[in-house]
Amino acid sequence: MLRSDIEKLHRKIMARFVDEEVIPMARELDEKGEFPFHLFRKLADMGILGIRYPKKVGGSGGNTTLYCIAMEELARGLLSLAATTAMQCLMATNGLYLYGTKEMHDEYLRPALRGEKIGAFQLTEPEAGSDLGNVRTSATKAEDGWLINGMKTWSTSGPYGDFHTVLCQTDPAKKLRGLMFFFIPADTPGFSHSKKFETLGTRTSSLSEIYFNNCHVPPEYMLGELGRGLDVLLTILSEIRVMTACLALGLHRAAMDDSIRYCKERVQFGKPIGKYQLIQAKIANMAVNLQAGHLMTYNVTHLIDDKIPCLNEASMAKYFTVESACKAADEATRIYGAYGYSMEYSVQRYYRDCRFLLYGGGTHEVLQTTIARQFGI
């Protein structure tokens, strides 16, 4: 699965950080629902926030595989920390890196890779989730730039994002070909956000609605060529989906590790429950699916690093690993029995958090349709 000594060493370093810094605090952080900024800044100091970007812009000079290894390990410790970190490393900063000016890099990108500024990514609207052609947040040409009006919802890091990458419609008649991304700093007049959503899982992540009321941005804040916003998204869609797969792998591993430990300790009818075949079957299925997920997922990251198109493979990896992680989290609560219903044990958190993975990067109903189309159906 991992093909270099650098990848293997990187996993060891990240695993140690998670074991020593994240897991001991995970329960407390989840219960408080507060984002661990101190851990976020430690990750920045380790070079994780800039792992995908070249050193010339303040990055670490890594690649997609190293990025995904880091996200998998973080998700094993606390999925919400991993999800917010993944956002910072990819969707929130990628457009800024590719299309931002040197001045934008100096003011926003470099500080973001140092953990000093936080970015957010805005696609979803109340009437436009999978259906991006229905995006209503508008960008209207002004004499000295663009005026942005509308709203977004389910914005990760929305309440505390210092800058936002926002999908807007520049020409409703063109539908998908009218879409464009714009860079909008949070201190832009007319920008505001709702309070943080109360959510079932990933409770340390902050999600909110975002509002734009005649937000004026200069011409250079349009990210990419006019009318090519969908193409901008497609350039990182494989990465978004394989990143989500890695988050699922991390949560899956956590659920399986806890289940193995518990079934060795829990004694019923005079022997550990792990000696019973039905429990063994649950563990075996978790292990098989995890192995398959790893093979699928890191095949995709290596294809991306080798610049080989792989959107269908990424869609398959995301679909398979997330479904497997949700199944593993459910089975973990069954292995724990009544204790799986207690907030004292982490398996209930895995069960809650795994739902988050079903929606990001494409719903599974959409993914199944997309995968089937590759076979002419």
Domain of 37: which CATH number?
Answer: 1.10.540.10
Residue 279 has pLDDT above 80, yes or no: yes
For the chain, where are the E strands, in sequence order? 119-122, 138-142, 145-156, 163-169, 179-185, 191-193, 207-217, 222-223, 267-268, 271-272
Instruction: Give the number of other CB atoms < 10 A from CB of residue 271.
Output: 9
The angle subtended at Cα 86 by Cα 250 and Cα 229, nearest 5°, is 130
Q: Taking residues 168-173, report their average pLDDT.
A: 94
Pair (236, 367) in one structural domain: yes
Residues 42 and 69 in one domain: yes
Indicate which CATH number applies to the domain containing 160. 2.40.110.10
Domain boundary among 185, 202, 227: 227
Measured CA distances, 303 to 200, 239, 312, 313, 361 (Å): 35, 11, 12, 9, 18
What residue numbers bound the domain in which 196 lies? 119-227
The pLDDT value recorded for residue 1 is 65
Give pLDDT, residue 374: 86
CA distances from 154 to 23, 70, 88, 91, 229 (A): 26, 24, 16, 14, 20
CATH number, domain of 319, equals 1.20.140.10
**Does residue 62 share a domain with residue 155?**
no
> Does residue 221 share a domain with residue 238?
no
Residue type, 268: Q
What per-residue confidence (pLDDT) applies to 263? 97
Q: Mean pLDDT across the chain, nearest whole number?
A: 95
Say yes or no: 213 and 129 in one domain: yes
Tell me: do 183 and 145 sit in the same domain.
Answer: yes
Sign of the Cα pseudo-torsion (287, 205, 188, 137, in order): positive
| Sequence-distant (≥ 6) Cβ neighbours of residue 183 within 8 angstroms | 95, 96, 100, 104, 108, 163, 164, 165, 166, 217, 221, 222, 223
Q: Which of 205, 227, 249 is the last residue of a domain?
A: 227
Residues 351 and 234 in one domain: yes
pLDDT digits (tens, 9 = 90+) for 100-127: 999 999 999 999 999 999 999 999 999 8
> Is residue 225 scored above 80 in pLDDT?
yes
User: Could you tell me if 188 and 254 lie in one domain?
Assistant: no
The answer on 288 and 322 residing in a single domain is yes
Among 193, 227, 261, residue at a domain's last position: 227
Task: Identify whether residues 234 and 221 lie together within a single domain.
Answer: no
Spatial distance between the Cα atoms of 35 and 159, rounded to a whole number of angstroms: 11
Alpha-carbon distance of 290 to 295, in angstroms, equals 9
Does 243 lie in the same domain as 196? no
Residue 345, pLDDT above cutoff 70: yes
For residue 362, how many other CB atoms are within 10 A of its CB?
22
Note the pLDDT tens digit of each residue in 354-374: 999 999 888 999 999 989 998
Q: Are residues 22 and 139 in the same domain?
A: no
Task: Please indicate, yes or no, whether the overall pTM of this predicted structure exceeds 0.85.
Answer: yes
Number of structural domains the chain divides into: 3
